[in-house]
Amino acid sequence: MLDTHARKYVQPSIDKTASFFLNKGRTANEITIVALIVGVSTSIFYVLGYPVLAVVMLWLSGFLDAVDGTMARHTKTSPFGTVMDITFDRVVEIAMIVAIAYVHPEVVFPLLLLSVSIVISMTIFLVVGAVSEKAGIKSFYYQAGVAERTEGFILFSIMLLFPDFLLWSTLLFFGVELFTGIQRFMEAKRIL
C-alpha cells in the first residue's frame, strides 16, 4: 500500500541515486546484487546481536532495491533483471526469518506461518503478473496490496527491534500478509 501511494515522496531521492550510479557506469543488475548483499547482511548483524544496524541495513537494501528498478527503467529493463530482483527480495526476507528463528527459537511456529503466508501472497502476485495482459511501469503487472515491501520492512523492523513483542508482531505480519494474499486473489478473479 505504501509502495503504491507514498512512492512519489521518495522517488526524487531514488531518481538522484539512480542517476548517480548510471553516471558512474553501474548497471541495474549490479545494484540488484549489492541490494542482495546488503539485505542478507541484515540477518548476519541480527544474529551477531546488532539489531539497530540490522534494521539500517534492511532499509538500505530496500532503498537500493527501488534504485535498481529506476535504473532499469531509465536504460533497458531485462527479464533476467526482473527475475533477479524478485528472487533476491525473497532471499532477503527468508534470511531474516531464519535469523530471527535462530535467535528466538521459541517463535519458530509463528515464523513458519509467516513464511507460508509470504509464499501464498507472492505466488498469487507472480502468477497474476505472468498471466495478466495489463502492463504497468514495471516489467510485469504489479498487483498492489495492503502488505507491499515497505509494510514488510516496517513489520520486520518491529520484529528485530522489539523482541518482547516478537510473537505478536510475527502473528500480525502473518495476518497482514495472509489478508494481502486474499485481497490479491479476489482482484485476480475480478481482472482475469
What pLDDT was estimated at residue 134? 59
What pLDDT was estimated at residue 8? 77
Position 35 confidence tier, pLDDT thresholds 50, 70, 90: very high
* Selection from 141, 157, 146 nearest residue 93 by Cα: 157
Lowest mean pLDDT among 38-42, 52-56, 61-65, 185-189: 185-189
Chain segment 18-29, per-residue pLDDT in tens:
999 999 999 999
User: What is the pTM for the complete model shown?
Assistant: 0.86
What pLDDT was estimated at residue 178? 92
Instruction: Determine the Cα angle at 21 with ends 8 and 81, to 5°.
Output: 75
**Whole-number Å distance between alpha carbons of 185 and 143:** 10
Distances (CA, A) of 87 to 32, 73, 80, 142, 175: 10, 19, 10, 15, 23
Start-to-end CA distance of the chain, whole Å, equals 21
What pLDDT was estimated at residue 96? 96
What pLDDT was estimated at residue 190? 85
Domain span at residue 48 reads: 2-191
Chain segment 78-129, per-residue pLDDT in tens:
889 889 999 999 999 999 999 999 999 999 999 999 999 999 988 888 888 7
CATH of the domain at 81: 1.20.120.1760
Task: List, as one string, the DSSP characters of 132-147.
Answer: -----SSSS-----SS
Place of cell 503466508: 117
What pLDDT was estimated at residue 20? 96
What pLDDT was estimated at residue 192? 80
Instruction: Report residue 102 as a C-alpha cell.
Output: 535462530
Q: How many domains is the chain built from?
A: 1
Chain segment 46-90, per-residue pLDDT in tens:
999 999 999 999 999 999 999 998 999 888 778 898 899 999 999
Q: Are 110 and 171 contacting, i.e. CB atoms less than 8 angstroms apart?
A: yes
Chain segment 135-179, per-residue pLDDT in tens:
554 555 566 677 678 889 999 999 999 999 999 999 999 999 999
Task: Name residue 50's amino acid.
Answer: Y
